[in-house]
Amino acid sequence: MNEWLVAATVLIVALGPCLGLCFAGRPVDGLVALELSGVITTAALLVLAEGFHRQPFVDLAVVFVVLNFAGGLTFARMLERRL
Amino acid sequence: MTRELPVAILLVAGVTLIVLSALAILVMRNTLDRLHYLGPASLGTLLVAIAILVEESFSLIGDKALAVGVFAVLSGVVLNHVTARAVRVHELGGWGIQNDEQVEVEER
Amino acid sequence: MARSLAVALIIWAGLAGVWMLLVDNESLPELVLGAGVALIATVAVQLVRAQHVADARIRSSWIRRLWRPLARMPLDVGVLIVELVRQLRQRRPERGQLRALRFRAVDQDADGRGRRALAELAGSLAPNTIVVGVDRRRRVILVHQLRPGGEGERTLDPLELG
């Protein structure tokens, strides 16, 4: 266990509030929680890559940060149209 | 040893910002108030990425981490704007100033 | 024609650079593959640009004040942390507020669209301020601030594009 894995554990726990808001909040609050959870997951993937010394995890973070952006835009557009 | 301290500071600062942002979206009651905390979380991700860059120097992992951090900040800015607009359209039917809203227009 | 070619070359170089950043392999087959993939992506970019869906022009002089929102970023992080502490002490249903600033660049030409896009982006950089949009009918830029304050022009339109 090194400091990077401790940081990753803390970040994964920080996903809890986002999950709670997705379940208990309104759709617009869920969208904010979803976008924040994407940022947290990106950071967690970076830290896990460093903690495990596994370079492919950084590639996961690269792909995920782009998908989080595209997904956030898509859901925001859907909410505008009241779907 | 000389790199350990800056790496630790950057990592702790980044993770702290992200954790505070996660706490804030529970504590704040209004959707637009919650949305503001996407910014600090993105900056926290950038700090984490810079910590990796300091640890690994300009290697494959360091370069990619920095690119991820910068993209997280820039995409966060765009998402903030787009989501704020979507929230107002969803709740009020339009994002502009509504007839019953008291918003004073400031002149330059 | 020469200008289009130059733009395409710059786009190709940028995309090839992204490929090299991700792959980090200087073997000849990898370079050729990267060049080919970047070429396909450049063709796709040029096809989209040819549709003229949202022509916008950004002038280099407009970004000379970009240091303002960038310098505000760490300060605004502090502001947001203070607001979080205040909310923990005294829960309020709403802390933020909408503000509007006169914005005259409402033309539908490339310059006007560029000004509005850049104003929306730069205005949202510092975390305390989120630009909702530029209302062309009312000629205002509408923003939401978690802690309202600061001189209108510098915080709501930091690049002074309106």
In chain B, which residues have their Cβ closer than 8 Å to the Cβ of A47? 11, 15, 48, 52
- Residues C107-146: pLDDT tens digits? 888 889 999 999 999 999 999 999 999 998 899 999 999 9
- Residues B46-52 have a mean pLDDT of 97
pLDDT at C57: 85
pLDDT at B41: 97
Whether B96 and chain C come into contact, CB under 8 Å, resolves to yes
Measured CA to CA, the distance from residue B40 to residue B48 in angstroms comes to: 12
- Binned at pLDDT 50, 70 and 90, residue B1 comes out as low
Burial of B25 by CB count in 10 Å (0-12 exposed, 13-18 middle, 19+ buried)? buried
Measured CA to CA, the distance from residue C162 to residue C154 in angstroms comes to: 11
Distances (CA, A) of C140 to A1, B92, B108, C79, C161: 54, 18, 11, 25, 12
CA distance A1 to chain B (A): 15
Measured CA to CA, the distance from residue B4 to residue B9 in angstroms comes to: 9
pLDDT at C3: 83
Whether A60 and chain B come into contact, CB under 8 Å, resolves to no
pLDDT at B32: 95
- Amino acid sitting at position A58: V
CA distance B1 to chain C (A): 28
Residue C131 backbone class (left: φ over 0; alpha: ψ -120 to 50; beta: rest): beta
In chain A, which residues have their Cβ closer than 8 Å to the Cβ of B75? 65-66, 68-69, 72
CA-closest candidate to residue A60, choices A48, A70, A72:
A48
pLDDT at C20: 85
Distances (CA, A) of A53 to A64, B14, B67, B77: 19, 20, 18, 30
- Domain ranges within chain C, ordered by starting residue: 2-50, 60-156
Going across the sheet that includes C140-145, the strands are B105-106, C97-102, C140-145, C129-135
The token pair that represents A47 in the structure block: 């830290």
Contact C23, C30 (CB under 8 A): yes
The token pair that represents C76 in the structure block: 């605004």
Q: Which chains touch C (3 or more CB pairs under 8 A)?
A: B
In chain B, which residues have their Cβ closer than 8 Å to the Cβ of A27? 90
Contact A39 B83 (CB under 8 A): no
Distances (CA, A) of A64 to A6, A35, A45, B75, C101: 21, 12, 9, 12, 36
Q: Which residue of chain C is at minimal alpha-carbon distance from B97?
A: C142
- Residues A62-73 have a mean pLDDT of 95
More confident residue, C150 or A61: A61
10 Å Cβ neighbour count for B78? 15
- Residues B16-43: pLDDT tens digits? 999 999 999 999 999 999 999 999 999 9
- Binned at pLDDT 50, 70 and 90, residue A82 comes out as low
CA-closest candidate to residue C19, choices C45, C39, C5:
C39
pLDDT at A83: 52
- Out of A4, A42, A72, the one facing B79 most closely (by C-beta) is A72
CA-closest candidate to residue B80, choices C97, C132, A68, C158:
C132
CA distance C146 to chain B (A): 6
What does DSSP say about strands C129-135 and C140-145: parallel, antiparallel, or unpaired?
A: antiparallel
Spans in chain C with pLDDT lower than 50: none
Whether A11 and chain B come into contact, CB under 8 Å, resolves to yes
Contact C100 B60 (CB under 8 A): no
Contact A28, B90 (CB under 8 A): yes
Q: Quickly list H helices, A1-83.
A: 3-24, 27-52, 56-80
pLDDT at B30: 93
With the CA atoms of B49, B54, B58 and B60 taken in that order, what torsion angle do they form, in degrees rounded to the nearest 10? -50
Measured CA to CA, the distance from residue C119 to residue C59 in angstroms comes to: 13
- Binned at pLDDT 50, 70 and 90, residue A70 comes out as very high
pLDDT at C124: 95
- Residues A5-46: pLDDT tens digits? 999 999 999 999 999 999 999 999 999 999 999 999 999 999
Q: Which chains touch A (3 or more CB pairs under 8 A)?
A: B
